Chain A
Amino acid sequence: MYFTAAKGSVPRFILNLQHRGFTVVGPSLSEGVVRLRELRGAEDLASGVVDIQGPGSYGLGGESTFMFASLNGPDSPKTYLHPAEVELSKHVDRGSGIELVSAFHSDRKYAFFGIRPCDLRGIGIMDRTMLVQGFEDPVYSTLRDDSVFIVVNCTKAGENCFCASMGAGPAAESGYDVAITELPEKLLVDVPERNMDMFQGIVLKAATEEELQEGEELVRHARDQMGRRIQERDPSRQMYAALDSPVWGEAAERCLACGNCTMVCPTCFCSTIIDRTDLRDGSVSRVRVWDSCLSKDFAYSAGGNPRQQRKARYRQFVMHKFAYWPDEFGTYGCVGCGRCITWCPVGIDITDTVNSVLKGKQDAGKKMEAPRVA
């Protein structure tokens, strides 16, 4: 059901979520970057903040009359649902064997407020990777089960965005708990019947045909504005065929193998379990931390290191998203959010790599600009 609500209703909406036991997470300004942070209230929202992104660059610039004016920062819901560091379990060994002291549990219920459609698609992808039947990840499933997603459709595209060609935006089609399109004067909201109670105390008016059209027009503008795209709708088979493309080596020559791309990616899920000993009581925590396929020792085993070369590791990152993922999980691993382009210290553009691999030409990175420091 489509309604309109006053922009001034946002504080009450966030309060409603909090009263329902949700920890509300939304875009918030922190040290010059819009992060996803726990919101104390609407006052913490990065309202009207404008971000400017490019390959290898992120900065803030000016103010907007729109509340939801900034696009994605480095965080995605992954930051909360598949945390960068999480204690899986804690054990002691009292001599008679290893005893479980505690296993991961959480009563947290997250409400993600103001995330973008690409990140909602990211959750849909994480659901497939982390909840494979029989192999459900205990952390992700616990945190995700009670989460709600209030998505804000995009009415503006960032320089690095390419969600349209990944079918993940600029508007969300399904999977949300509330979808908001910000019009100049009001919010256009799509509220499924089950979530009407989130709007308690907020005046909702049935949206008119004109208001719906205005919303569609703004989303279309974002789509038209989007400068980047993946040339093929379904590139997986062609990517497989291009495993030996010279493009991989060209792009990898600039890659620093720093792993930033995998950290900011809303779907990258790789991790490592480490043992952390507490010297006070001798207990051992099994802690899971994010890992990256760009790291040199990522694939190392007693039999050797299959991806010793940086080229092989960069290829793994891109091939996984655009070739392997559909065979593993029935979906592409990329949502077109552009974060890996923004946060790459040398501004490697994944759309450029994929398109060049598809074309079979060695022009990956030619139009690379010098990275700007914000």
Chain B
Amino acid sequence: MPRQALHTFMQATVRDVRKETPDTFTLLLDVGGGRTPADFMPGQFNMLYVFGVGEVPISVASSEGETLLMHTVRSVGAVTNLLARLSVGENIGLRGPFGRGWPVAEAEGKQLLVIAGGLGLPPLRPVIEGAIAKPGRFAGVKVLYGARTPADLIYTHEHSRWQAANGCDLLLTVDRGTGDWRGNVGVVTTLFPMAGVDPGRAIAFICGPELMLKFSIMELVKIGVPPERIFISLERNMNCASGICGHCQLGPFFICRDGPVFSYPKVRDFFPKEGV
């Protein structure tokens, strides 16, 4: 990032707002200046700024082929609650992109396991869309996605398209099967036996709550996926996004600068480890 990045905001104009769940919504943004979603790589994040209130780090959910930048946000605090109230035509500030994303090139020719828990799906959406756009790039794509309840599943209008795509399988699970849910019930690792994982050829991209990451990694290692082919996206308090404020440190890493995506062996001494 250039030197002035700490206080230079791009103007992001809201073009569409989609409600995903009662507390989660998707913003489609026009960042102008000739910038397109292709300038924001899968796994990277942006700082979204509400004037006079503050910034939040949000993953890039759009893929390079799309025209609008996409961010999916859950209302949990002062800034995200205000983002939830945005309407079409309004502007917010944006800094980014920051961080290192998914090693998509490294996954070429391998069986790609996309494992997401809850709001871990947005940063993986561009990986899925990218795979669908270029069939044959990977030796099959397995999307394993879990949420708390069926009502917490996001991007549901896209699921059938993902499922129908050549070489792509979408497996869903929920912790609690409310309503007329007939699918799998249980944590995301319960999907592993149904996914037809080929440990010798698999590469895993995982994002979700820490516990879900922990058990997914354990399960993958148990079935024989080499640790160096497991990649996780980690969440910490990102404030400056430039490795200067210190908030997002995990051991010797600044999540904002060195991550948020890490190969598992790189961070295994510090994740998961209490209090680091």
Query: Residues on A close to B: CB < 8 A?
Result: 88-89, 91, 93, 96-98, 100, 103-104, 129-130, 132, 134-138, 141, 240, 243, 269-275, 277, 284, 286, 291, 293, 298-304, 306-309, 311-312, 315-316, 319-320, 323-324, 327-328
- Inter-chain contact A273/B245, CB cutoff 8 Å: yes
Of the residues A136, A240, A303, contact of B3 by C-beta under 8 Å: A136
**Chain B residues closer than 8 Å to A327, beta-carbon distance:** 252
Q: Could you jot down 25 A-B contacts, CB within 8 Å?
A: A89-B7, A96-B91, A97-B11, A97-B13, A98-B9, A98-B49, A98-B91, A98-B93, A103-B7, A104-B7, A132-B243, A132-B257, A135-B242, A138-B4, A141-B3, A243-B273, A271-B244, A272-B245, A301-B236, A303-B210, A304-B210, A306-B276, A316-B249, A324-B249, A327-B252
Q: B86 to chain A: closest CB distance in Å?
A: 13
> How far is it, in angstroms, between the C-alpha of A291 and the C-alpha of B245 when the chains are bound?
8
A301 nearest CB neighbor, chain B only: B237
- Inter-chain contact B77/A302, CB cutoff 8 Å: yes
> How far is it, in angstroms, between the C-alpha of A98 and the C-alpha of B9 when the chains are bound?
8
Q: Is B54 an interface residue (CB 8 A)?
A: yes
Once A311-B275, A312-B275 are accepted as A-B contacts, the answer to whether A273 and B239 lie under 8 Å apart by CB is yes
- Inter-chain contact A272/B239, CB cutoff 8 Å: yes
Q: Is B74 an interface residue (CB 8 A)?
A: yes
Q: B92 to chain A: closest CB distance in Å?
A: 8
> How far is it, in angstroms, between the C-alpha of A312 and the C-alpha of B249 when the chains are bound?
13
- Inter-chain contact B7/A270, CB cutoff 8 Å: no
Q: Is B1 an interface residue (CB 8 A)?
A: yes
> How far is it, in angstroms, between the C-alpha of A100 and the C-alpha of B54 when the chains are bound?
15
Q: Is B232 an interface residue (CB 8 A)?
A: no
- Inter-chain contact B7/A88, CB cutoff 8 Å: yes
Once A137-B242, A240-B269 are accepted as A-B contacts, the answer to whether A97 and B55 lie under 8 Å apart by CB is no
Q: A281 to chain B: closest CB distance in Å?
A: 12
**Chain B residues closer than 8 Å to A275, beta-carbon distance:** 52-54
- Inter-chain contact A130/B244, CB cutoff 8 Å: yes
Most chain B beta-carbon neighbours within 10 Å: one of A243, A303, A320: A303
Identify which of residues 1-31 in chain B touch chain A, using a CB-to-CB cut-off of 8 Å. 1, 3-4, 6-9, 11, 13
Once A97-B11, A271-B246, A284-B51 are accepted as A-B contacts, the answer to whether A300 and B237 lie under 8 Å apart by CB is yes
> How far is it, in angstroms, between the C-alpha of A308 and the C-alpha of B250 when the chains are bound?
14
Q: A20 to chain B: closest CB distance in Å?
A: 26
Q: Is B235 an interface residue (CB 8 A)?
A: yes
> How far is it, in angstroms, between the C-alpha of A104 and the C-alpha of B3 when the chains are bound?
12
- Inter-chain contact B8/A323, CB cutoff 8 Å: no
A138 nearest CB neighbor, chain B only: B3
> How far is it, in angstroms, between the C-alpha of A89 and the C-alpha of B79 when the chains are bound?
19
> How far is it, in angstroms, between the C-alpha of A224 and the C-alpha of B54 when the chains are bound?
52
A262 nearest CB neighbor, chain B only: B246
Q: Is B247 an interface residue (CB 8 A)?
A: yes
- Inter-chain contact B246/A269, CB cutoff 8 Å: yes
Q: A274 to chain B: closest CB distance in Å?
A: 8
> How far is it, in angstroms, between the C-alpha of A98 and the C-alpha of B13 when the chains are bound?
11
3 closest A-B pairs by beta carbon, nearest first, are A312-B275, A89-B7, A270-B246
Once A138-B6, A312-B275, A312-B276 are accepted as A-B contacts, the answer to whether A303 and B1 lie under 8 Å apart by CB is no
**Chain A residues closer than 8 Å to B1, beta-carbon distance:** 134-135
**Chain A residues closer than 8 Å to B13, beta-carbon distance:** 97
- Inter-chain contact B237/A299, CB cutoff 8 Å: yes
> How far is it, in angstroms, between the C-alpha of A249 and the C-alpha of B36 when the chains are bound?
50
Q: A272 to chain B: closest CB distance in Å?
A: 6
**Chain B residues closer than 8 Å to A301, beta-carbon distance:** 235-238
Of the residues B247, B252, B275, contact of A323 by C-beta under 8 Å: B252
> How far is it, in angstroms, between the C-alpha of A96 and the C-alpha of B274 when the chains are bound?
46
Q: Is B240 an interface residue (CB 8 A)?
A: yes
Identify which of residues 221-259 in chain B touch chain A, using a CB-to-CB cut-off of 8 Å. 235-240, 242-254, 257
**Chain A residues closer than 8 Å to B246, beta-carbon distance:** 269-271, 291, 293
> How far is it, in angstroms, between the C-alpha of A94 and the C-alpha of B185 when the chains are bound?
50
B272 nearest CB neighbor, chain A only: A306
Once A299-B236, A307-B275 are accepted as A-B contacts, the answer to whether A328 and B254 lie under 8 Å apart by CB is yes
- Inter-chain contact A306/B275, CB cutoff 8 Å: yes
Known: A240-B269, A316-B249. 12 other contacts (CB 8 A): A88-B6, A91-B93, A97-B11, A98-B91, A104-B7, A273-B245, A284-B51, A291-B246, A299-B236, A299-B249, A306-B275, A316-B276
Identify which of residues 44-93 in chain B touch chain A, using a CB-to-CB cut-off of 8 Å. 49, 51-55, 74, 76-77, 91, 93
Q: Is B209 an interface residue (CB 8 A)?
A: yes
- Inter-chain contact A98/B3, CB cutoff 8 Å: no
> How far is it, in angstroms, between the C-alpha of A304 and the C-alpha of B272 when the chains are bound?
14
A87 nearest CB neighbor, chain B only: B7
> How far is it, in angstroms, between the C-alpha of A307 and the C-alpha of B209 when the chains are bound?
16
- Inter-chain contact B235/A320, CB cutoff 8 Å: no
Most chain A beta-carbon neighbours within 10 Å: one of B9, B244, B274: B244
**Chain B residues closer than 8 Å to A89, beta-carbon distance:** 6-7
**Chain B residues closer than 8 Å to A293, beta-carbon distance:** 246, 249
Q: B84 to chain A: closest CB distance in Å?
A: 14
- Inter-chain contact B74/A302, CB cutoff 8 Å: yes
Most chain B beta-carbon neighbours within 10 Å: one of A88, A275, A284: A275
